[in-house]
């Protein structure tokens, strides 16, 4: 460096002037901001009515960044439903627990997601959308079968696991729609423990009880 060269022309780090630093941290911050915006957009409207452009506007980013981080609206929606770490730990604990007592814990965990601010809003948006949007319905099925119910059913080792998963999912979805979307009384105002006491035995039967054999001449799908 000669005496006419500004000291700032050669950064101490050796990086070229103007090159951004802290890229990984910035990427994570941007991704989290998009995810927060997506949860708000889905919760305020519906799956079909929420667009990548609207999410980008809420997050104050270019729509191309939403695609870059999440790939598609469906993948973004599925990501908003990802269980928080403490709920994933609870599912893992259920997998290791006694299958004969798992029914109550499954119901408690499912209803508990509606009391969690992180998952309540996207779940409500999903429930409003399942009847009119095929992608939202598929996202719901994936959420329940892959992340919540499926692992517990698989750990029980009982026959016809696919049927058991759908029986449990159908019961819990109906409960959630009546309580949290339609607000049907007295279901909507029932105490959590009362609901668990009513529903847990049914879910336990779906989980480990004997299921009737298919009628002769009919094959289960």
Domains and CATH numbers, the chain: 23-73 (1.10.10.60), 85-208 (1.10.357.10)
Nearest in space to 106 (alpha carbons), one of 152, 66, 71: 152
Q: How far apart are CA 134 and CA 7, in angstroms?
A: 61
pLDDT of residue 85: 60
Q: Are 18 and 53 in contact (CB under 8 A)?
A: no
The answer, as to whether pTM is greater than 0.85, is no
pLDDT of residue 39: 83
pLDDT of residue 214: 80
Structure tokens at 32: 């989290």
Strand (E) or helix (H) holding 155:
helix 150-156
What DSSP designation does 87 have?
H
Structure tokens at 51: 């667009």
* Spans of the chain, pLDDT less than 70: 1-26, 83-87, 118-119, 121-122, 217-221
43: how many CB neighbours lie within 10 A of its CB? 18
């Amino acid at each position: 460096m000669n005496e006419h060269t500004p000291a700032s022309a050669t950064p101490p780090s050796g990086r070229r002037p103007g090159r951004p630093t802290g890229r990984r941290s910035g990427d994570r911050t941007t991704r989290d901001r998009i995810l927060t915006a997506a949860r708000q957009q889905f919760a305020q409207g519906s799956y079909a009515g929420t667009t990548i452009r609207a999410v980008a506007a809420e997050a104050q980013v270019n729509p191309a960044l939403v695609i870059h981080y999440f790939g598609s609206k469906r993948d973004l929606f599925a990501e908003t439903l990802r269980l928080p770490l403490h709920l994933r730990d609870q599912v893992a604990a259920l997998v290791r627990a006694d299958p004969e007592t798992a029914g109550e814990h499954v119901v408690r965990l499912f209803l508990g997601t509606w009391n969690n601010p992180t998952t309540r809003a996207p779940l409500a948006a999903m429930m409003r959308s399942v009847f009119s949007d095929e992608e939202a319905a598929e996202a719901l099925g994936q959420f329940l079968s892959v992340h919540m119910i499926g692992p517990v059913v698989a750990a029980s080792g009982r026959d016809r696991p696919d049927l058991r998963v759908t029986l449990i999912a159908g019961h819990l979805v109906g409960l959630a729609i009546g309580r949290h979307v339609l607000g049907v009384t007295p279901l909507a105002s029932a105490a959590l423990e009362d609901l668990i006491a009513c529903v847990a035995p049914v879910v336990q039967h779906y989980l480990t009880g004997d299921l009737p054999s298919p009628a002769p001449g009919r094959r289960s799908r």
